[in-house]
Amino acid sequence: MKDDNLTPEQVLAALFKGLSRFDQMALLSRLEFTGGSMYRAWAASERNAKAREALLAAAQREDDSANLLKGMTTLKAACEKCAKPLPLDAAALTCSFQCTFCPDCAARMDNLCPNCSGELAARHAHG
């Protein structure tokens, strides 16, 4: 499906169309990791030391962003407080960073994440 009339930005935007926010974040994480790899590859062949340094710094920023999004989209299968197993279809509560707690532990913590102080809400099925 190639359309020569689309800009690169439109092609990238099309990758995200119809995806949930969660799935968009997971996809962007993968793209950020790829971007970091590309910056490092360009740096490896860059003869100008300042340009090489700038490319490596950009690679690190891409990796940092990718790791943030990866953490926010990596589902956990156990309560972080009591270690109770929480299969992905089990009732669980999470914050924006996917810190995961069973309903009993979440209630004892007033539905506030002890790690980031974010609100704990019902974990949604992601697929």
Q: How confident is the model over 120-126, as a mean pLDDT?
A: 84
Helix H, strand E, coil C: the string for the chain is: CCCCCCCHHHHHHHHHCCCCHHHHHHHHHHHHHHHHHHHHHHHHCCCCHHHHHHHHHHHHHHHHHHHHHHHHCCCCCECCCCCCECCCCCCCEECCCCCEECHHHHHHCCCECCCCCCECEECCCCC
Residue 35: pLDDT band by 50, 70, 90 thresholds? very high
In this prediction, residue 102 carries a pLDDT of 97
pLDDT tens digits for range 79-115: 999 999 999 999 999 999 999 999 999 999 999 999 9
CATH class belonging to 75-127? alpha beta
For the chain, the structural domain boundaries read: 8-72, 75-127
